[in-house]
Amino acid sequence: MDFKKDLLEVLSDLRSSMKETFDRHVSIQDLLSDRWETAKFYGFGEGSSCYNNVLIIGDVKVGRNTWIGPNVILDGTGGLEIGDYASISAGVQIYTHNTVDYSTSLGENPIDVMPTTIGNGVYLGPNSVVQMGTTIGDMSVIGAMSFVNNDIPKGSKWYGTSLK
Protein backbone atom coordinates (compact mmCIF):
# COMPACT_ATOMS: atom_id res chain seq x y z
CA MET A 1 0.00 0.00 0.00
CA ASP A 2 1.38 3.40 -1.01
CA PHE A 3 0.17 5.91 1.60
CA LYS A 4 1.13 9.00 -0.39
CA LYS A 5 -0.62 7.73 -3.52
CA ASP A 6 -3.74 6.86 -1.52
CA LEU A 7 -3.74 10.25 0.20
CA LEU A 8 -3.38 12.10 -3.09
CA GLU A 9 -6.28 10.11 -4.50
CA VAL A 10 -8.48 11.00 -1.51
CA LEU A 11 -7.52 14.69 -1.82
CA SER A 12 -8.27 14.62 -5.53
CA ASP A 13 -11.73 13.17 -4.82
CA LEU A 14 -12.37 15.79 -2.13
CA ARG A 15 -11.27 18.62 -4.45
CA SER A 16 -13.54 17.35 -7.20
CA SER A 17 -16.46 17.15 -4.79
CA MET A 18 -15.81 20.70 -3.51
CA LYS A 19 -15.59 22.02 -7.06
CA GLU A 20 -18.77 20.25 -8.09
CA THR A 21 -20.76 21.19 -4.98
CA PHE A 22 -19.57 24.75 -4.27
CA ASP A 23 -17.54 25.67 -7.41
CA ARG A 24 -14.51 26.57 -5.29
CA HIS A 25 -11.03 25.48 -4.27
CA VAL A 26 -10.06 25.52 -0.58
CA SER A 27 -7.01 24.54 1.45
CA ILE A 28 -6.42 20.91 2.38
CA GLN A 29 -7.47 21.56 5.97
CA ASP A 30 -10.82 22.89 4.76
CA LEU A 31 -11.23 19.88 2.48
CA LEU A 32 -10.83 17.64 5.53
CA SER A 33 -13.13 19.62 7.82
CA ASP A 34 -16.71 20.80 7.70
CA ARG A 35 -17.37 24.54 8.27
CA TRP A 36 -20.70 23.89 9.97
CA GLU A 37 -19.18 21.26 12.30
CA THR A 38 -16.38 23.68 13.24
CA ALA A 39 -18.97 26.34 14.17
CA LYS A 40 -20.99 23.78 16.11
CA PHE A 41 -17.86 22.64 18.01
CA TYR A 42 -17.30 26.21 19.23
CA GLY A 43 -20.94 26.57 20.27
CA PHE A 44 -21.86 29.06 17.55
CA GLY A 45 -25.52 29.45 16.61
CA GLU A 46 -27.46 27.06 14.43
CA GLY A 47 -26.70 27.37 10.73
CA SER A 48 -23.44 29.27 11.27
CA SER A 49 -20.25 28.22 9.50
CA CYS A 50 -16.60 28.87 10.28
CA TYR A 51 -13.59 27.95 8.20
CA ASN A 52 -11.06 25.68 9.89
CA ASN A 53 -8.22 28.20 9.58
CA VAL A 54 -9.96 30.86 11.70
CA LEU A 55 -8.04 31.85 14.84
CA ILE A 56 -10.49 31.82 17.77
CA ILE A 57 -9.24 33.10 21.13
CA GLY A 58 -11.18 33.34 24.40
CA ASP A 59 -14.88 34.05 24.85
CA VAL A 60 -16.44 34.28 21.39
CA LYS A 61 -20.21 34.07 20.97
CA VAL A 62 -21.73 33.86 17.50
CA GLY A 63 -25.42 33.89 16.62
CA ARG A 64 -27.40 31.93 14.05
CA ASN A 65 -26.74 31.74 10.31
CA THR A 66 -23.50 33.69 10.49
CA TRP A 67 -20.72 33.07 7.97
CA ILE A 68 -17.12 33.39 9.11
CA GLY A 69 -14.74 33.32 6.17
CA PRO A 70 -11.19 32.06 5.84
CA ASN A 71 -8.16 33.60 7.57
CA VAL A 72 -10.23 35.49 10.16
CA ILE A 73 -9.10 36.40 13.69
CA LEU A 74 -11.78 36.36 16.39
CA ASP A 75 -10.20 37.64 19.61
CA GLY A 76 -12.56 37.02 22.51
CA THR A 77 -10.04 37.82 25.26
CA GLY A 78 -12.32 40.61 26.50
CA GLY A 79 -15.56 39.08 25.23
CA LEU A 80 -16.70 39.11 21.61
CA GLU A 81 -20.32 38.85 20.51
CA ILE A 82 -21.37 38.50 16.88
CA GLY A 83 -25.08 38.50 16.04
CA ASP A 84 -27.29 36.51 13.68
CA TYR A 85 -26.96 36.62 9.88
CA ALA A 86 -23.59 38.39 9.98
CA SER A 87 -20.98 37.97 7.24
CA ILE A 88 -17.40 38.12 8.43
CA SER A 89 -15.38 38.21 5.20
CA ALA A 90 -11.97 36.72 4.53
CA GLY A 91 -9.09 38.20 6.47
CA VAL A 92 -11.20 40.19 8.95
CA GLN A 93 -9.61 40.79 12.36
CA ILE A 94 -11.81 41.54 15.38
CA TYR A 95 -10.03 42.40 18.63
CA THR A 96 -11.00 42.71 22.30
CA HIS A 97 -7.54 43.39 23.70
CA ASN A 98 -4.26 45.12 22.91
CA THR A 99 -0.81 45.19 24.45
CA VAL A 100 0.16 48.78 23.61
CA ASP A 101 0.31 50.09 27.21
CA TYR A 102 1.79 46.83 28.44
CA SER A 103 4.59 46.92 25.87
CA THR A 104 5.38 50.63 26.05
CA SER A 105 5.49 50.52 29.87
CA LEU A 106 7.89 47.56 29.73
CA GLY A 107 5.29 45.37 31.42
CA GLU A 108 4.35 47.79 34.22
CA ASN A 109 0.82 48.42 32.88
CA PRO A 110 -1.70 45.62 32.31
CA ILE A 111 -2.95 44.41 28.95
CA ASP A 112 -5.99 46.48 27.90
CA VAL A 113 -9.20 44.47 27.51
CA MET A 114 -12.67 45.63 26.38
CA PRO A 115 -15.64 43.75 24.89
CA THR A 116 -16.53 44.14 21.23
CA THR A 117 -19.98 43.65 19.70
CA ILE A 118 -20.97 43.01 16.10
CA GLY A 119 -24.75 43.29 15.59
CA ASN A 120 -27.27 41.25 13.62
CA GLY A 121 -27.10 41.41 9.84
CA VAL A 122 -23.69 43.10 9.78
CA TYR A 123 -21.40 42.74 6.77
CA LEU A 124 -17.66 43.14 7.43
CA GLY A 125 -15.72 43.50 4.18
CA PRO A 126 -12.50 41.60 3.46
CA ASN A 127 -9.41 42.47 5.50
CA SER A 128 -11.24 44.91 7.78
CA VAL A 129 -9.96 45.42 11.32
CA VAL A 130 -12.30 46.05 14.25
CA GLN A 131 -10.60 47.44 17.34
CA MET A 132 -11.44 46.44 20.91
CA GLY A 133 -14.31 48.16 22.69
CA THR A 134 -16.32 48.98 19.59
CA THR A 135 -19.91 48.19 18.72
CA ILE A 136 -21.12 47.84 15.16
CA GLY A 137 -24.89 48.30 15.02
CA ASP A 138 -27.37 45.94 13.36
CA MET A 139 -27.55 45.85 9.56
CA SER A 140 -24.40 47.93 9.06
CA VAL A 141 -21.90 47.51 6.23
CA ILE A 142 -18.16 47.92 6.76
CA GLY A 143 -16.25 48.21 3.50
CA ALA A 144 -13.21 46.21 2.54
CA MET A 145 -9.93 47.07 4.29
CA SER A 146 -11.61 49.44 6.74
CA PHE A 147 -10.31 50.17 10.25
CA VAL A 148 -13.03 50.57 12.87
CA ASN A 149 -12.11 51.93 16.31
CA ASN A 150 -15.30 53.88 16.96
CA ASP A 151 -18.90 52.73 17.37
CA ILE A 152 -20.87 52.43 14.14
CA PRO A 153 -24.63 53.18 14.42
CA LYS A 154 -27.31 50.76 13.26
CA GLY A 155 -27.89 50.72 9.50
CA SER A 156 -24.67 52.61 8.68
CA LYS A 157 -22.28 52.13 5.79
CA TRP A 158 -18.68 52.73 6.73
CA TYR A 159 -15.62 52.63 4.47
CA GLY A 160 -12.13 53.69 5.49
CA THR A 161 -10.98 54.66 8.97
CA SER A 162 -13.13 55.81 11.88
CA LEU A 163 -10.86 57.55 14.37
CA LYS A 164 -11.69 58.33 17.97
pLDDT in tens, 28-77: 888 888 999 999 999 999 999 999 999 999 999 999 999 999 999 999 99
| Mean pLDDT for the chain overall | 94
3-class secondary structure, 36: helix
Instruction: Please indicate, yes or no, if residue 164 is contained in any of the structural domains.
Output: no
Residue 24 structural domain: 1-32
**126, 48: one domain:** yes
Q: For residue 116, is pLDDT > 90? A: yes
The larger pLDDT score, comparing residue 121 to residue 7, is at: 121
1/43 same-domain check: no
Q: pLDDT exceeding 70 applies to what percent of the chain?
A: 98
Let me know the angle formed at the C-alpha of 115 by 138 and 127, rounded to the nearest 5 degrees.
Answer: 65
pLDDT of residue 1: 64
Distance CA 19, CA 145 (A): 28
Quick count: other Cβ atoms within 10 Å of Cβ 153?
11
47 lies in the same domain as 64: yes
119 vs 161: which has the higher pLDDT? 119
pLDDT at site 162: 59
Domain count, the chain: 2
- What number is the average pLDDT over the span 87-114? 97
Residue among 99, 48, 47 nearest 75 (CA): 99
Q: Are residues 27 and 39 in the same domain?
A: no
Arithmetic mean of pLDDT, 118-126:
98
pLDDT reading at 129 higher than 60:
yes
One domain for residues 8 and 60: no
- What local confidence, expressed as pLDDT, does residue 43 receive? 97
- How confident is the model at residue 164, as a pLDDT? 56
Q: What percent of the chain stands above pLDDT 90?
A: 85
> Domain check: are 41 and 101 in the same one?
yes
Whether residue 49 sits in one domain with residue 6 = no
Buried b (16+ CB within 10 A) or exposed e, 36-57: eebbbeeebbeebbbbbebebe
In a domain, 149, yes or no: yes
